[in-house]
Amino acid sequence: MPDQEVAAVGSRTPESAQRFAERYEIPRAHGSYGALAADSDVDVVYVATPHSAHHPAALRCLKAGRAVLCEKAFTLDAAEAAELVAVARQQGVFLMEAMWTRFNPAIIRLRELIAEGAIGAVRTVTAEFGIFFPYDPEHRLFATDLGGGALLDLGIYPVSFAWMLLGQPRHVHAVAGLAPTGVDANTGLLFGYDGGQVALLHCTLESQTPATATILGTKGRIEVHPHFFRPTAFTVTPHDGEPWTHTVELDGNGYTYQAAEVARCLRAGDLESPLMPLDETVAIMRTLDRVRTQLR
C-alpha cells in the first residue's frame, strides 16, 4: 500500500527470516520474535504464525509497545485472548484480530443494506467452509499442540460471520467427526439466539465445499457468492421484487483492507477497530471454547 511498507520480518531462526526477507525484498530480518518486537522502527507487527504461537508472539510485541494485527483464530482459547486484550489496554497499544472478512468492501455494503432493512429482520444465517486435506498426523492442521482441527482454522470464518449479524448466541450445539489425532475434522454447529434466530454453520477438513453463506430475513434473503469470507459479489432477493446483485472489484487478494484499517486506526490514535472490536474477539473465542467442550 502507498502509505505503508514492510520494514522487517521475524522468524524462529535467522535462516528462515533471511530467506523470507530475500524473497520479498524486506530490509531487515530478525532471527527471533523478541528481536522483531525490539525493533524501534517497526510500528505494527502482523502475527501470522500457527495458532499455538499467536499468544506468545503477540504478547511479546505488545509488552514492547508494538501495535499488533493478529491472525485468526486470535488465540487457542478465550483466556489467552483476554490476556492479550488486557495487556494491550494496559500498555495503551493497538491490537486487532485479522479477520479480513470484516473489512471486505462487499461485506461492508452488505451490513449497510441489512441495517437499512433491505431484507427485514435477520432470522437465519447459514455459512460453511471446507477444504480437503489428506490426513497427515505431522501436519499442523491435525496436531493438537498446534491448535489443529477444522474449527479454529476454518470454522472461525462462519462463526465470526454469524456473530457479525446476530451477535452472541444463547444456545450452542456442536457435533463433529474427529481425526485420529483427536482434532475435529468435520464439524456442524447450531446456534440459537434470544430472539428466536438461528445460525447453521459447518466446517470440514474432509471435503472441498462451495464456501457460501445465506442470510434469511423477514423481507428477503442475501446469498453471498463464494468465497463468502472474501466475496466479490452478493445477490439480494426481496420477497416482493426482482433479485439484484452487488459486485465489487477487490484490491489484490483482499488483505489490503484490514491493513488499511490498521493504518487508519494508528493515524487516528485509536487502540482498536470498531469493525473488529476486541471484546467481540474475546467473546467469539469464548463461544469456540463452548463448542470444543462438546467435541471431545
- How far is residue 142's CA from residue 179's CA, in Å, rounded to a whole number? 7
- How far is residue 60's CA from residue 84's CA, in Å, rounded to a whole number? 10
Give catalytic status of residue 72 as yes or no: yes
Q: Which of 54, 72, 202, 230 is catalytic?
A: 72
Whether residue 235 contacts residue 242, with contact meaning beta carbons closer than 8 Å, is answered with no
- How far is residue 30's CA from residue 254's CA, in Å, rounded to a whole number? 27
Burial letters 271-294, b for 16+ CB under 10 A, else e: bbbebbebebbbbbbebbeebbee
Q: Which of 255, 74, 87, 57 is nearest to 147 (CA)?
A: 74
Instruction: Copy the grid coordinates of residue 123.
Output: 432470522
Whether residue 150 contacts residue 159, with contact meaning beta carbons closer than 8 Å, is answered with no
Contacts of 79 by beta carbon, 8 Å cutoff, 6+ apart: none
Task: For the chain, give percent helix, strand, coil, nearest 5.
Answer: 35, 25, 40
Catalytic residues: 72
